Amino acid sequence: MTIQAEETKTITLIEALGQALDDALSSDPDVFLLGEDIIDPAGGAFGLTRGLSTKYGRERVRETPISEQAIIGAGIGAAMLGAKPIAEIMIADFYAVCLDQVANHAAKLRYMSGGRTTVPLTIRGMLSGGLNFAAQHSQSVEAWLLHTPGLKVAMPSTPADAKGLLTTAIHDPDPVILLEPVALYTVTGPVPVGRHEVPVGQADVKRVGADVTVVTYGPCVPMALAAAEELAGEISVEVVDLRWLAPWDKETVLESVSKTGRAVVMHQAVECCGFGAEISSVISENLWSVLEGPVLRVAGANTPVPYATELEQAHMPGTNDLVKAIRSTGEWKSRG
């Protein structure tokens, strides 16, 4: 765990994100926010930025038209001249309307210019799912971004990580995308009161175990912990919360699987070409000789996300699916 023995306060994940923004605005004049509906009195679709435009003014907390390409572009350009802009893409599905600015520009400008230009931009916003928001407001699109070299991508599962990841993102010299699981916005946890960072690429072992490694991130972390708890006594489950998806902490994952010999990867995104496939491949490529069986994947079904609860539950991966997958690894005969 990276939370130091320092002063903490128990707050929600959404409060932790707001705090990171507040701290950044107050401590660094180069930081500013831009996005749709982020100013007071509403302060964003879920009130995450509430209070900030009042405190820092509408010059630094900038409401925009519904123009995601223009939002990201404005962030890119300002970042190239030394600002540390934090652009909001309200819901992750909307990366589809601005992927050109994100993937063809923010991600590539440093490289295309031979390193002469840089884009220290942060893009953040909700990752939805599980809220009956249907096919265009529930997608987990991290794989689109992870298949785009030049981007850094993070997803928190706890309030402390949320604050730490966002703070690190803001000050990172490269474009960082923070996907915030809205399903966890109201989860509470202890958060360091002072400045708190989660270094780029650093995973967190959220539960130590000996028999099976679950590699996951974001909204599936609580499910993984619940599954581990359910199986306690029967199977000892280690839960690795990646936190950073790009670059990701291969070392920690490989170390864990070296120990357990069994791995299950879980994410909310649909399975086909999801990040789980990458993780699974890397584990297999690196730990072939220690694996007791194939790396298993627990993920969203390969369908759009449906609306009605019964359907969405069927689509989404859940704790039960994970428990089943973990149990199934126990049936493998050891090779040795």
Ligand X SMILES: Cc1ncc(C[n+]2csc(CCOP(=O)(O)OP(=O)(O)O)c2C)c(N)n1
Binding site for ligand X (CB under 6 A): 36, 66, 68, 90, 94, 97
Nearer to a copy of itself, 59 or 285 (CB): 285
The SS3 assignment for 315 reads helix
Q: How far is the CB of 30 from a copy of itself (least distance, A)?
A: 26
As a whole number of angstroms, the distance between CA 141 and CA 130 comes to 15
Residue at token pair 């050109």: 100
Rule CB under 8 A: say whether 277 interacts with another protein: no
Contacts (CB under 8 A) with a copy of itself, residues 274-313:
274-278, 280-281, 284-285, 288, 293-297, 302-304, 306
b/e per residue, 44-55, with b = 16+ CB within 10 A?
A: bbbebbbebbee
Alpha helix ranges (H) inside 85-183: 95-99, 109-112, 142-146, 159-171
Nearer to a copy of itself, 135 or 210 (CB): 135
Task: Report CA torsion sign: 175, 277, 306, 322.
Answer: negative
Contacts (CB under 8 A) with another protein, residues 242-271:
247
As a whole number of angstroms, the distance between CA 287 and CA 284 comes to 5
The one of ligand X, a copy of itself, another protein, none whose footprint includes residue 278, by CB under 5 to 8 A per kind, is a copy of itself
Q: How far is the CB of 259 from another protein (least distance, A)?
A: 25
Which among 105, 101, 75 has a CA at the least distance from the CA of 88? 75
Which among 185, 176, 227 has a CA at the least distance from the CA of 50? 185
Rule CB under 8 A: say whether 282 interacts with another protein: no
- The answer to whether residue 137 is catalytic is yes
Rule CB under 8 A: say whether 26 interacts with another protein: no
Whether residue 12 contacts residue 159, with contact meaning beta carbons closer than 8 Å, is answered with yes
- x/- contact string, 214-233, with another protein (CB under 8 A)? --------------------
Q: Which residues are catalytic?
A: 137
Which residues are near a copy of itself by CB under 8 A? 93-97, 99-100, 103-104, 107-108, 111-112, 134-136, 141, 143-144, 146-147, 149-150, 246, 269-270, 272-278, 280-281, 284-285, 288, 293-297, 302-304, 306, 335
